[in-house]
Amino acid sequence: FAFRSRVTGVYLSIITQAMTYALLLAFFRNDMGFGGNNGLTDFKDILGFSVQADATRSALFAASAVTLALGVFVTAAIVRSKYGKLMMAVRDAES
């Protein structure tokens, strides 16, 4: 809304700080389902499986590791592609 009404300068910085403070109050002082400062807590089960079970923890660890590896491979493939080389050329261009 600030750009549509052409708010600039000091007033834009005041609006930015006010919105930042409002979001801070909304997320940290009001639980709103996000858990406040502690984040999402008190998980007892995930998809019907107990979080305390060793098998569930191992499965979550394995799923996290597979997701991380997949992300690394996808990122490397993008960087090696024609589009990735184009993006690096744009990044490295001095002018």
The per-residue pLDDT for range 9-40, each reduced to its tens digit, is 888 889 899 999 988 887 777 656 666 666 66
> Average pLDDT, stretch 56-70?
95
Q: pTM, whole model, 2 decimals?
A: 0.55
Structure tokens given for 18: 């006010």
Contact 61, 68 (CB under 8 A): no
Q: Coil, helix or strand for 13?
A: helix
